[in-house]
Amino acid sequence: MILDNVNLNLLRIFEAVCRTGSMTKAAQEIHLTQSGVSQSIKNLEDILGLALFDRVKGKPIPTPKAHELFLVVKKQLDELEQTLAQILEEDVVFKGEIHLGIPIEYGNSFILPLAAEFSRIHPKVNFKFFYGYASQMNHMILKGELDFAIVDSFHLDKQIETFEVGYEIHTLCGATKYLSTFGVPSVTKEFLSRLDYISYLEGAPVLTGWFQHHLKKCYFEGKIKAVLMDVQGVAQLVTHGLGVGVLPKHVVDKLLKSGKDLYVFGEGQNPLYNRLSLASLKGRTHSFQVQAFIEHLQSNLKSLPQ
């Protein structure tokens, strides 16, 4: 049997290199020297008679066969760890690093507090967060740079699977002083067509979504006064009267509580929900700590007021 020539330690080292994407990080995690990890990988390659990694700019990139082996080894090692903990009546200790992509405002408001809570319970788990939009997360998930990401409505690659974990309400609002120069605010094409707008992206997809939802329009024709990819930046421009823009309700609530004088269009009438989903690569085997954190998010996000 091939297994007669492969000891468990070689497979543990192989799994760590694949998971961390680095000989150095794997060495630190397993408490070996980098040269020791490199030699162990070479030994495993010699035993199997095939190359497991391509070296690209000093970084070990798993070959297709190595990736196939990793999925099996990772699953079996995790199950072995869990079984040993159970028969010894010990708690499974989660450790390692979680790579997570998040949208800036939703991530800061909801994901980071839950990550801090999880870390207090499991102090040996570390996080590496990446901010960005769904399109950026799509690319990083496909490259294997993220364990998973929290994304809003976006057509992701067919290799990525999603399931809903939460939501936020999108509201159109403007400074009361700014709007007073146009008359009595109303959710009508006549009134809204006279305003200036702040958009997150060229083409104004978020504004278009709001207009489609509230006015049944298939497109947005307003004048874009500014474009910037940041919720707090849009909030600053809106509160200072440069134009109106779409903001998450939880952001508007904070602005109102701080004394900002804002008017919210269509408040309480058929709210527009921005669904937030967890996205990950289909077939990817998550570590125990990643799966546990996913379950932590699932059990807490939908119960939060958003």
Count the residues in the chain: 306
Mean pLDDT computed over 235-262 = 96
96-167+275-301 shares the fold of 2-87:
no
User: Rounded to an integer, what distance in angstroms lies between the CA atom of residue 146 and that of residue 160?
Assistant: 12
In words, the CATH class of domain 168-269 is alpha beta
pLDDT at 304 over 60: no
pLDDT at 280 over 60: yes
pLDDT at 201 over 60: yes
pLDDT tens sequence across 1-14: 667 777 888 888 98
Measuring CA to CA, how many Å separate 217 from each of 48, 90, 231, 267? 61, 59, 24, 19
> Is residue 30 within 8 Å of 19, Cβ to Cβ?
no
User: Rounded to an integer, what distance in angstroms lies between the CA atom of residue 81 and that of residue 66?
Assistant: 22
pLDDT tens sequence across 30-83: 888 999 899 999 999 899 999 999 887 778 888 889 888 888 888 888 778 778
Q: How many CB atoms lie within 10 A of CB 63?
A: 14
pLDDT tens sequence across 208-224: 999 999 988 667 888 99
Pick the CATH number of 2-87 from 1.10.490.10, 1.10.10.10, 3.40.50.300, 3.40.710.10: 1.10.10.10
Mean pLDDT of the chain: 88
Q: Residue 100: what pLDDT?
A: 95
Tell me the HSE value of 289 on the side-chain side, using a 13 A CA sphere: 20
pLDDT tens sequence across 89-142: 666 667 778 999 999 889 999 999 999 999 998 888 999 999 988 888 999 998
Q: How many CB atoms lie within 10 A of CB 198?
A: 24
Say whether domain 96-167+275-301 belongs to CATH 3.40.190.10. yes
Q: Minimal CA–CA distance to 242: which of 178, 304, 286, 294?
A: 178
pLDDT tens sequence across 6-40: 788 888 898 889 888 888 888 888 888 999 899 99
Beta strands in the chain (DSSP E): 53-56, 59-62, 96-102, 125-131, 148-151, 160-175, 196-199, 223-227, 244-248, 262-265, 272-281
* Beta bridge mates, 131: 102
Domain boundaries in the chain? 2-87, 96-167+275-301, 168-269
User: Rounded to an integer, what distance in angstroms lies between the CA atom of residue 138 and that of residue 200?
Assistant: 18
Q: Residue 270: what pLDDT?
A: 86
Tell me the two tokens of residue 290.
Answer: 């990643």
Residue 235: pLDDT band (50, 70, 90) is: very high
Tell me the two tokens of residue 264.
Answer: 């919210």
User: Rounded to an integer, what distance in angstroms lies between the CA atom of residue 138 and that of residue 151?
Assistant: 9
